């Protein structure tokens, strides 16, 4: 199993995915008293896309962009990683079209020669990709409501949270088999 190889220190294991943080806000749930009027202003000033690779030690490798993340962007990130690794490395990906594109598949042989291997999760299994939990923590716990006031404040808050990951910000992934 890949996890066992990682725990034994034989390989590096990263979970990869992308997310979008938008000035439209993130409200997973809310409540209010019956007599209370609660509103959140929606602003459409911009969005920041993040492609990240995260391991269970909270080491995060990431890149942000205001452009859409497509296969070319993912290839660029994996290519960069393939030149930096020092031992066999496995990257776990979901089945998003940017991850399964033909042009990305054409790079796999070169990456494997450098020690970078891709592992695709079964369809409809985001619960198996730990970076999904990190994106949720980022949006719910690291970004404050006042950070959504402008694109600049939001992008700064996201950048600071991403930079603090593994240092001040950690997700507990200790309970895995």
pLDDT on residue 34 = 77
Residue 149's SS3 state is helix
Q: Where are the alpha helices (DSSP H) in 35-127?
A: 71-84, 97-100, 102-105, 108-114
Look at residues 128, 118, 83 and name the one whose alpha carbon lies nearest to residue 98: 118
pLDDT on residue 41 = 61
CB 56 within 8 A of CB 176: yes
Look at residues 173, 167, 25, 17 and name the one whose alpha carbon lies nearest to residue 91: 17
Q: Count Cα neighbours of 128 within 13 Å in the Cβ-side half-sphere.
A: 14
CB 152 within 8 A of CB 66: no
Measured distance between the N- and C-terminal CA atoms of the chain, rounded to whole angstroms: 10
CB 28 within 8 A of CB 140: yes
pLDDT on residue 27 = 58
Q: Count Cα neighbours of 126 within 13 Å in the Cβ-side half-sphere.
A: 10
CB 73 within 8 A of CB 67: yes
Look at residues 81, 25, 84, 53 and name the one whose alpha carbon lies nearest to residue 165: 53
pLDDT on residue 177 = 42
Cβ neighbours of residue 98 closer than 8 Å, sequence gap 6 or more: 18, 69, 70, 71, 73, 74, 104
Walk along the chain (177 residues) and give the pLDDT tens digit of each residue: 788 899 899 999 999 999 999 887 655 556 677 777 766 565 566 799 999 999 999 999 999 999 999 999 999 999 999 999 999 999 999 999 999 999 999 999 999 999 999 999 999 898 899 999 999 999 988 998 888 888 899 999 999 999 999 999 888 876 544
> pTM for the full model?
0.86
- Cα 108 to Cα 106: distance, rounded to the nearest angstrom: 6
């Amino acid at each position: 199993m890949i996890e066992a190889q990682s725990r034994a220190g034989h390989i590096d294991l990263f979970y990869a995915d992308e997310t979008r943080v938008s000035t439209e806000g993130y409200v997973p749930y809310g409540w209010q008293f019956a007599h209370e009027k609660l509103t959140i202003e929606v602003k459409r000033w911009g969005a920041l896309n993040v492609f990240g690779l995260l391991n269970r030690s909270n080491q995060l490798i990431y890149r942000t962009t205001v452009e859409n993340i497509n296969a070319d962007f993912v290839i660029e990130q994996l290519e960069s990683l393939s030149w930096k690794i020092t031992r066999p490395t496995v990257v776990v990906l979901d089945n998003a079209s940017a991850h399964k594109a033909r042009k990305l598949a054409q790079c796999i042989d070169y990456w494997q020669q450098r020690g970078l291997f891709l592992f695709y999760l079964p369809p409809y299994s985001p619960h198996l990709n730990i970076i999904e939990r990190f994106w949720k923590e980022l949006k719910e716990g690291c970004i404050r409501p006042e950070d959504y006031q402008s694109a600049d404040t939001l992008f700064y808050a996201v950048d600071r949270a991403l930079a603090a990951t593994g240092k001040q910000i950690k997700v507990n992934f200790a309970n895995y088999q």
